[in-house]
Every structure is written in C-alpha cells, then in structure tokens.
Amino acid sequence: ETGVTQTPRHLVMGMTNKKSLKCEQHLGHNAMYWYKQSAKKPLELMFVYNFKEQTENNSVPSRFSPECPNSSHLFLHLHTLQPEDSALYLCASSQGVGGGVSDTQYFGPGTRLTVL
C-alpha cells in the first residue's frame, strides 16, 4: 500500500450524471495531483494542488472540477462527461512539488471510469 486511497475503484456513469472521485493520502504530504490515463496513452497530468491551492491546470475541460478542502483530501467532480472521458483516473501525493528525490510522487490505485 502506498498510503494513497481512491474511491470508488470503478464507476459507470451516463453523460448527464454528476459524480465525484475521492482521493485521500495518509502520508502527511502537502501536494496532491490528478492524472488521467486513456487507453494506449501515457499518464497525463490534469491538476496540481500545493498546500490546498491549485497550482496547475493542464488545459483540462471545465466538465472536470477539482476540489482540495485540505492537504489530505482531493476530489474530482464530474459532470456532463463524454464517452471519450472514459479512462483510469489516478491520484498522487508528494511532500512538495519540486520533482526531486524528496518529492517522489506516491500514487493511488486509480478509479476506472466508464462514461456511457
């Protein structure tokens, strides 16, 4: 276990539904991330939060809305998604956002999302 949990692990939703993905880290980290992995594509960064403040939005459509109420919790609110948004959504956390050894990212197991 990496100390990062995600719920639900699987989610099927219609295009008109609203749902949320939840991530929780038990590592005392200050930074949290959302990544997306579509079929046959590399992991792609979506959002970065550092000390609860969003520091990166990688040109993500507004139908994805992140929320970080505290350094341990991260949500991804989903509404009016498209079938092409079906993917594996991974959460990660790190001590800081510097990218070096001390800022190794620890990943959750992901939520497999299917949009019908």
Partner 1 sequence: ILNVEQSPQSLHVQEGDSTNFTCSFPSSNFYALHWYRWETAKSPEALFVMTLNGDEKKKGRISATLNTKEGYSYLYIKGSQPEDSATYLCAFIRVDSSYKLIFGSGTRLLVRP
CB of 99 vs partner 1, minimal distance in Å:
3
CB of 41 vs partner 1, minimal distance in Å:
7
Work out the angle at residue 88's Cα, subtended by the Cα atoms of residues 67 and 98, and round it to the nearest 5 degrees. 55
Residues whose CB is less than 8 angstroms from the CB of residue 82 and which lie 6 or more positions away in sequence, other chains included = 15, 63, 115
d(CA 45, CA 27): 21
Contact (CB, 8 A) for 89 and 111: yes
Nearer to partner 1, 16 or 59 (CB): 59
Task: Give me the helices (H) in 14-78, please.
Answer: none
Which residues contact partner 1 (rule: CB under 8 A)? 1-2, 4, 40-45, 48, 55-56, 58, 90, 97-101, 103-110
CB of 95 vs partner 1, minimal distance in Å:
12
Nearer to partner 1, 61 or 99 (CB): 99
Nearer to partner 1, 75 or 107 (CB): 107
Nearer to partner 1, 80 or 86 (CB): 86
CB of 64 vs partner 1, minimal distance in Å:
17
Half-sphere exposure of 63 (CA within 13 A, CB side): 12
